[in-house]
Amino acid sequence: MKRLLAILFLAISTGCTLAQGTAQSLVVDCGSQVDITATAKGLFVFEGWSDGVTEASRTIDVYSDTTLIAFFACPAYDELPIVPLYDWLIMVNVNELNAMGHYPDPEECLWYRVVGDPDDVNGDAEDRDDQLVARGYYLTLDKDLLHSGTYYCITRAQNPAGAYCGEGYMQSKLLDYSYSHIDDTPTKERHLYPGVATHGGPLRIEGLDKRERHTVEVFYASGQYVRTLVADGVETFYFTAESCSGCYIVRVSSPTATTIHRYIVR
């Protein structure tokens, strides 16, 4: 006697469904043993089967028509990804959010300047006193952000169907643009050379303080993260340009300064 084994692969997120998923079905002899594996694609991770089994690969005995659902989920964001592009511009990393299945409405991306201690954005409204300074994917001010305060962004993300994912807000890390201590500490001026590089060609950052550990982060001009490097105990840091043509942003951070640089790969 033949039996039907139907398997549905469903992608989910915290609080909302991202996709209807795909289905596969097999007709096998009654009493057959069937090996099945739920394989995650892209950034999704396997969550478990509808019958409670949490192993992605398993063997099942088919004695009756059976339907199983394999659940996949995108990792929930503990932190809203943002990218400081220039001294006067910060942006929400929309590309990274979209890759995870989140589609924030720009009108619900709220930028705040910290007043006193940072607010608990999921706490009581009457306990919040941080200053709302902008809405949208970008934060820009009339003057440079340096020496102007500490900022963060919050938003509620949606899936492609427009449903909200989860109950609360995603919040970015705090970006400290006060840097008041820099005024009292003489530092060298940092430079990245050359401004135009070949694929995989040599680059260097000059003017580092060899007493400090520097984090060198590379982004596409769109804000999408590329890679992170570390320069420790050197005044000049050597690295190679990306292999793809385009414009890149380099953020160099140390305990006393953060600078933004740009280069083009042709």
119-135 per-position pLDDT tens digit:
776 666 666 788 888 99
Q: Which of 14-28, 50-64, 189-203 has the weakest average pLDDT?
A: 14-28
Q: Tell whether the model's pLDDT for residue 187 goes beyond 90.
A: no
Please say if the pLDDT value at position 62 is more than 90: no
With vertex at residue 177, the alpha carbon angle to CA 76 and CA 238, rounded to the nearest 5 degrees, is 80
pLDDT value, residue 180: 43
Percent of the chain, pLDDT > 90? 18
- Weakest-pLDDT range from 54-63, 140-149, 201-210: 140-149
Question: Which one of 28-42, 73-87, 249-263 scores highest in mean pLDDT?
Answer: 249-263
Neighbour count for residue 207 (Cβ, 10 Å):
16
Q: Both tokens of residue 124?
A: 């009581």
The arrangement of secondary structure in 187-265, i.e. its CATH architecture, is Sandwich (2.60)
* CB half-sphere exposure, 236, CA atoms < 13 A: 6
pLDDT greater at residue 122 or residue 28: 28
What residue segments make up the domains of the chain, in order of their start? 2-73, 82-178, 187-265
Q: Look at the pTM and tell me if it is higher than 0.75.
A: no
Please tell me the predicted confidence (pLDDT) of residue 179: 57
pLDDT at 222: 74
Q: Average pLDDT of 1-30? A: 57
Cβ contacts of 218-221, under 8 Å, gap ≥ 24:
218/242, 218/248, 218/249, 218/250, 219/83, 219/85, 219/248, 219/249, 219/250, 219/251, 220/95, 220/246, 220/247, 220/248, 220/249, 221/246, 221/247, 221/248, 221/249, 221/262
Q: Are strands 82-86 and 131-135 parallel, antiparallel or unpaired?
A: unpaired
Helix segments in 40-133, DSSP class H: 94-99
Class of domain 2-73: alpha beta
Segment among 34-43, 49-58, 64-73, 130-139 with least mean pLDDT = 34-43
Q: Helix, strand, coil % (nearest 5) of the chain? A: 5, 50, 45
